[in-house]
């Protein structure tokens, strides 16, 4: 045996090769996970009540990425790059619940419902949404319980809203005047969407300009994906309880449920 052959088979060399192989295996797994998060779906956590009653504080949702095509917005949320052209792009349907990068800070991920498409005329009059010159029908649906960010509950009026095309969803709308109840009619420009929260009095959405902390008219390029399902949910109010009671905060009835 030559000295070079002896060196190649030494324990030190074998251990080094084993470490390199292990590191490469981990890198492959990480790259596969990143690819899946980019191309297929990614989970996100809901920190606020702007989409109640559809989404509750503490829900974990799954955003499906392929319905609207891909851009730099599709990358995992810890990767923040400038907006790029979208490939295989498609517009959402009215009524889709979407996840997007907030135009004011692309590292932030927000969730709202699409109510206006390019070319639509959108207005708010006395708390009711108008699209293309017609009021969007609202049907009273009793009283719901709205969760606030401090974990308390507040009784709120529920309505079923029916968008043009027939898609229905439930909204919260408190009685009385709210600054967001009225908005002059505007035309959604090409390449943009009008999005709203289902909790109409507590949502900084397209009714609120970007300069005031809202969304303004959402560029299609900022879309991340469509919310199709919840994968889990936990009542954040339980974090003030002793840790052994935390499992009681699991909302098992919301696990693996569809979002409409």
90: CB partners within 8 A, 6+ apart: 67, 68, 69
Instruction: Please identify which of the residues 37, 65, 112, 173 carries the catalytic annotation.
Output: 112
Whether residues 20 and 123 share a domain: the answer is no
Looking at the predicted structure, is the pLDDT value of residue 34 above 60?
no
Which pLDDT belongs to residue 45? 80
Active site residue 84: no
Whether residues 149 and 88 share a domain: the answer is yes
Whether residues 7 and 50 share a domain: the answer is no
Looking at the predicted structure, is the pLDDT value of residue 142 above 90?
yes
Structural domain boundaries, residue 33 = 1-39
* 3-class secondary-structure state, position 96: coil
Instruction: Please identify which of the residues 37, 50, 56, 73 carries the catalytic annotation.
Output: 50
Chain segment 54-94, per-residue pLDDT in tens: 999 989 988 888 899 888 888 877 777 777 788 878 999 99
Whether residues 210 and 101 share a domain: the answer is yes
Phi, psi of 23 (to 5 degrees): -65, -45
DSSP-derived letter for residue 73 is G
- Beta-strand ranges (E) seen in the chain are 41-45, 59-64, 97-101, 109-116, 121-125, 128-131, 134-135, 138-147, 153-162, 168-172, 183-187, 192-196, 218-219, 223-233, 257-258
Active site residue 10: no
Whether residues 7 and 112 share a domain: the answer is no
DSSP-derived letter for residue 153 is E
Whether residues 13 and 85 share a domain: the answer is no
Whether residues 2 and 30 share a domain: the answer is yes
Alpha-carbon span 51 to 170, nearest angstrom:
10
Whether residues 59 and 187 share a domain: the answer is yes
Tokens 């490469």 sit at which residue?
24
Whether residues 48 and 11 share a domain: the answer is no
Number of folded domains in the chain? 2
pLDDT bin (cut points 50, 70, 90) of residue 39 is very low
Whether residues 90 and 184 share a domain: the answer is yes
The residue that leads in pLDDT, 13 or 53, is 53
């Amino acid at each position: 045996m030559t000295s070079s052959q002896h060196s190649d088979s030494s324990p030190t060399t074998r251990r080094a090769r084993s470490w390199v192989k292990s590191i490469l295996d981990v890198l492959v797994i990480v790259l596969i996970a990143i690819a899946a998060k980019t191309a297929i779906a990614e989970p996100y956590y809901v920190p606020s009540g702007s989409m109640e009653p559809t989404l509750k504080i503490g829900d974990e949702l799954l955003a499906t990425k392929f319905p609207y095509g891909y851009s730099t917005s599709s990358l995992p949320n810890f990767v923040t790059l400038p907006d790029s052209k979208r490939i295989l792009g498609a517009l959402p349907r009215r009524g889709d619940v979407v996840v997007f990068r907030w135009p004011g800070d692309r590292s932030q991920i927000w969730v709202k419902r699409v109510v206006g498409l390019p070319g639509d005329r959108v207005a708010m009059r006395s708390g009711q949404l108008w699209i293309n010159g017609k009021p969007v029908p609202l049907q009273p649906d009793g009283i719901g319980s709205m969760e606030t960010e401090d974990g308390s509950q507040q009784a709120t009026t529920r309505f079923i809203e029916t968008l043009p095309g027939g898609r229905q969803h439930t909204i919260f709308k408190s009685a009385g005047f709210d600054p967001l109840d009225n908005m002059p009619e505007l035309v959604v420009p090409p390449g943009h969407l009008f999005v709203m929260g289902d909790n109409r009095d507590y949502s900084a959405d397209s009714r609120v300009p970007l300069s005031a902390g809202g969304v303004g008219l959402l560029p299609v390029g900022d879309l991340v994906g469509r919310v199709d399902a919840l994968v889990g949910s936990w009542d954040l109010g339980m974090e003030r309880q002793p840790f052994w009671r935390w499992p009681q905060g699991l909302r098992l009835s919301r696990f693996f449920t569809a979002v409409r």
